[in-house]
Chain A
């Protein structure tokens, strides 16, 4: 009897797992046509975008760019037909329940937040006119210098306006990063003034390389197309301390801090052996001379 129950459990489990992996994602009929309680407008789409960028982008990628994570099944792009053929109710249902790798957001996002996401998704629906349109990036040029004495990074930015003239880029955030071994570390942001310029005060406790050199990387934020400025090493940081990774006390060590007795034992043993070998070779060479005597 128990065996049969066990078998039954295995079979049920097997089928439910199968279902979880491969089957069509079905939405109950009553959930299909639930109405979106929130209005489709710019404000709600913007709010939805914010949540999407925070919670969903890591898997689904950015809408329209087809840069989702390579999972199986693949998380569909928001702008794709796979996604957009869902009704609003179906989208809400799927976000709520989740399936397989797609997590359920019932507990992490409020009902309103989930509807905001649906609003954002509607921005890419072919049947609706988008309310949030991202302007094409503005071409800009950026320049920057380090003043090591005053401990300042001075930035200047301009862009080509519609008439094709160079114009100062005002009231725009500029990101200041420094180069580290595994990427750029953001250290601050400055806003350009009416002259398109801004100063970044280098903090006193900024740590540089072993000699205190720092390489700054200056860039404009989203919405601009501008070359990053990488500044040459400037001696504006405090030198990095390089701790000795191996203590002097251990026997195994680098040649710099090898214990003296070990070095002498090694060299003594090898040297002794080779001197003796040399002595023997010398004796062998003498044999030849002895053949006369």
Chain B
């Protein structure tokens, strides 16, 4: 980073950066309204489905005695997974001083907040009596992974929100000081309250650096725990396909794959929609592509372990389960996910061309879809094969397939997550302005100057 000495140049560049990065806040056109309309409508339809479910009970889902965890839990695992990217990019890479990751931090944090918030909601989705969530706190057993999961989801959500907020404070001050009539009054009010009277003195910067550092370190164990504990929900049972010692790292590696793909998609959307070509540059996509290859390879390695080792032994129940997903009912889904969602992307992304923005985004979409179905394969087939034979039950109990209402509610979780991300993007810059400007060599003292109009 080379410092820009001339004040004129500094101010000019800063103005441009602020102008570009606040476009997402200022921009208001048909497309914005249409997007909000779509999201709100689909969310409302999903909520309506949820209303039906609460009214009629879980019988409206495809879940029965044997498969009692269906699409909701698969979806829950998916959202927890996606949210984990926050800790990888905005904490680990930050602490390692990897500078290309800095403009991406806030995008990753958006994904983390939306993901973990929805993960919490989906758990409630899965309950026939949502009011009984309280029982987890009143009667919960401290030795139960469910209690650990609830605790750690709440902790991670809190940390993610704080980690989003902390680097935002100087930005909020910039917005408060520089934005004018183009931003509605209520937004300005939010900025001024949340900016906490920031005026950019050295003490304040010192405090914020310190607090960020503490959070970035804290989020590493918490982030690892959230997905490890989620994996323990499965691994702590004796069921074929879940009873595995590498579930924790297997889930964490898979989470990075899903999260990186989500971040790439979001970066591309911002780049296109808010004209941020100079900010989410080709090099960022290139680096994200490399990161995605790396975590995918890691995930592939765990997949080989997870399937080859039990497949080698073919223990009775495990064998039934494995045959079911290798050549049985789930074979098509399983092999599509492994080949299209993991192996093929790895091979493609080894070439520079496929790490260019558009190809990488297309690959990320496929990877993300694959990641969702992978969670489905982790959760459901195991439940279809209990150790004791399934007897004297209606035929529909033998296999699970989601009902319309389940799909509606699952769609709701996606639109709601996108809604959270959109609102965040419409309220706050998608890249940390002051960090970015500083990276470009602009001195901190210019940030708190009012621009001459």
- The residues of A with any CB-CB pair to B shorter than 8 Å are 251-255, 258-259, 262-263, 266-267, 269-270, 273-274, 276-277, 279-281, 283-284, 286-288, 290-291, 293
Contacts and interface: CB of A to CB of B under 8 A. Distances in A.
Contacts of B198: 287, 291
Contact of A288 (B152, B155, B165, B197): B197
Interface of B: 141-144, 147-148, 151-152, 155, 158-159, 162, 165-166, 169, 196-199, 201, 203-204, 207-208, 210-211, 214-215, 218, 221-222, 225, 236
Contact of A286 (B147, B152, B158, B207): B207
24 contacts: A251-B143, A252-B143, A252-B236, A254-B143, A255-B141, A258-B141, A266-B151, A267-B142, A269-B225, A270-B152, A273-B155, A273-B159, A277-B155, A277-B159, A279-B214, A280-B162, A280-B166, A280-B211, A283-B208, A283-B210, A284-B166, A287-B208, A288-B196, A290-B207
A291 B201 contact: yes
B203 A280 contact: no
A144 B60 CA distance: 52
Contacts of B215: 280
A276 B214 contact: yes
A252 B144 contact: yes
Nearest to A252: B143
Contacts, number: 84
A253 B210 contact: no
Chain B contact residues, majority secondary structure: helix
A274 B141 CA distance: 20
Task: Classify the interface of chain A: helix, strand, loop or mixed.
Answer: helix
A277 B162 contact: yes
Nearest to B155: A273
Contacts of A251: 143
A251 B165 CA distance: 39
A287 B142 contact: no
B322 to A, nearest CB: 27
Contact of A258 (B142, B201, B236): B142
Given A273-B218, A290-B201, A262 B211 contact: no
B169 to A, nearest CB: 7
A103 B141 CA distance: 53
**Nearest 5 pairs of A and B residues by beta carbon:** A291-B197, A283-B211, A288-B196, A290-B203, A291-B199
B143 A253 contact: yes
B74 to A, nearest CB: 24
Which of A254, A259, A287 is packed against the most chain B CB atoms within 10 Å?
A287
A251 B232 CA distance: 14
A34 B312 CA distance: 70
B205 to A, nearest CB: 10
Given A274-B155, A277-B218, A291-B198, A284 B211 contact: yes
B214 A254 contact: no
Contacts of A274: 155
Given A277-B159, A283-B210, A287-B207, 5 more contacts: A262-B142, A276-B218, A284-B166, A291-B199, A291-B201
